[in-house]
């Protein structure tokens, strides 16, 4: 059970969370803030904690590697645990069927189900509440020739824009939660760089940035055409040395094309995949 929650003082949206009770008496919470920071929380009416005290916690998923985190008692029976932006930790949590938490020499066992869908659902909840999932993406910037554009004068195509953007948000969320990138974050519209705002749901990590854009099926337009158009756009923007290439592979009976390019100019060397 869960939903979206507001700040009790300002009334503004604060976070999305889900909770489930266990037979042991503990209730387990998972939440994602409006800034896409995730955390765990635990509550037990039998606990007698001091508000503000910190509690070192050792987490293990499916009996694998140990992750050391720190919880804070918010009241006598409620502990919050901010989780680090560690892609390995996120992947372990999403794939786990069991979780063990060791705190104050006590061992707590939890059976986990549907965690693979829980974090994306919470992130999508945040995107809806902050407005990033409800807005259709703006039209592509005319100065950049990227992928073949859909017919913006077609009312049916325009009606699908919001749905396509929502799908892009979900795919981008799955990507950053499973990537090996350092501190990945899904960007709100107001945070999106100008060169990515026309390309769907954008994300950023410590050393990279990208976006997911869904292109509706169009007659006589194939994956290889999209790849070629994107590479051509990159070549046009580069004001120095430019190189590009393309690979393909068979995935689920479909040929998937991947394009890549590099540009070396006065601002440095950039690689695009």
Same domain, residue pair 25 and 96 = yes
In a domain, 121, yes or no: no
Same domain, residue pair 208 and 237 = no
In a domain, 120, yes or no: no
Domain, as residue range, for 41: 2-114
CB atoms within 10 A of CB 132: 22
Same domain, residue pair 81 and 182 = no
Same domain, residue pair 99 and 198 = no
User: How would you classify the pairing of strands 98-103 and 209-212?
Assistant: unpaired
Same domain, residue pair 32 and 89 = yes
In a domain, 126, yes or no: no
Same domain, residue pair 7 and 97 = yes
Same domain, residue pair 109 and 205 = no
Mean pLDDT of 198-202: 78
**Which pairs from 154-163 meet CB under 8 Å and 24+ separation?**
157/216, 160/216, 161/136, 161/137, 162/134, 162/135, 162/136
Same domain, residue pair 11 and 82 = yes
214 vs 246: CA distance, rounded Å: 20
Mean pLDDT lowest for which of 113-127, 140-154, 206-220, 229-243? 140-154
Same domain, residue pair 92 and 188 = no
pTM of the prediction? 0.50
Same domain, residue pair 86 and 175 = no
Count of domains observed in the chain: 3
Q: Is pLDDT of 193 > 70? A: yes
In a domain, 143, yes or no: yes
In a domain, 119, yes or no: no
210 vs 223: CA distance, rounded Å: 19
Same domain, residue pair 144 and 63 = no
CB 228 within 8 A of CB 254: no
Structure confidence at residue 250 (pLDDT): 83
Structure confidence at residue 55 (pLDDT): 93
Same domain, residue pair 159 and 234 = no
Which of residues 89, 114, 139 is at a domain's end? 114
In a domain, 187, yes or no: yes
Q: Is pLDDT of 158 > 50? A: no
In a domain, 264, yes or no: yes
């Amino acid at each position: 059970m869960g939903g979206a929650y507001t700040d009790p003082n300002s009334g503004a949206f604060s976070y999305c969370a889900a909770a489930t009770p266990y037979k042991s008496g503990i209730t387990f919470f998972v939440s994602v803030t409006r800034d896409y920071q995730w955390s765990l929380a635990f509550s037990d009416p039998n606990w007698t904690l001091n508000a503000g005290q910190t509690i070192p916690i050792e987490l293990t998923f499916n009996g694998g590697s140990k992750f050391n985190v720190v919880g804070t008692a918010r009241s006598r029976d409620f502990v919050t645990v901010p989780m680090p932006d560690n892609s390995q930790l996120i992947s372990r949590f999403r794939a786990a069927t069991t979780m063990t938490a060791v705190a104050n020499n006590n061992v707590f066992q939890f059976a986990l189900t549907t965690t693979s869908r829980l974090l994306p659902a919470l992130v999508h909840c945040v995107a809806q509440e902050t407005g990033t999932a409800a807005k259709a993406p703006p039209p592509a910037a005319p100065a950049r020739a990227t992928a073949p554009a859909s017919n913006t004068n077609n009312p049916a195509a325009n009606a699908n824009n919001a749905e396509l953007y929502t799908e892009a948000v979900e795919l981008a969320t799955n990507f950053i939660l499973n990537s090996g990138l350092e501190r990945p974050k899904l960007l709100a519209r107001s945070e999106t760089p100008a060169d990515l705002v026309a390309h769907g749901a954008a994300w950023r990590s410590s050393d990279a940035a990208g976006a997911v854009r869904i292109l509706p099926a169009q007659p006589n337009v194939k994956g290889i055409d999209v790849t070629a158009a994107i590479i051509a756009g990159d070549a046009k923007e580069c004001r120095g040395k430019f190189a590009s290439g393309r690979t393909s592979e068979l995935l689920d009976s479909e040929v998937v094309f991947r394009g890549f390019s590099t540009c070396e100019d006065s601002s440095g060397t950039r690689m695009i995949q």
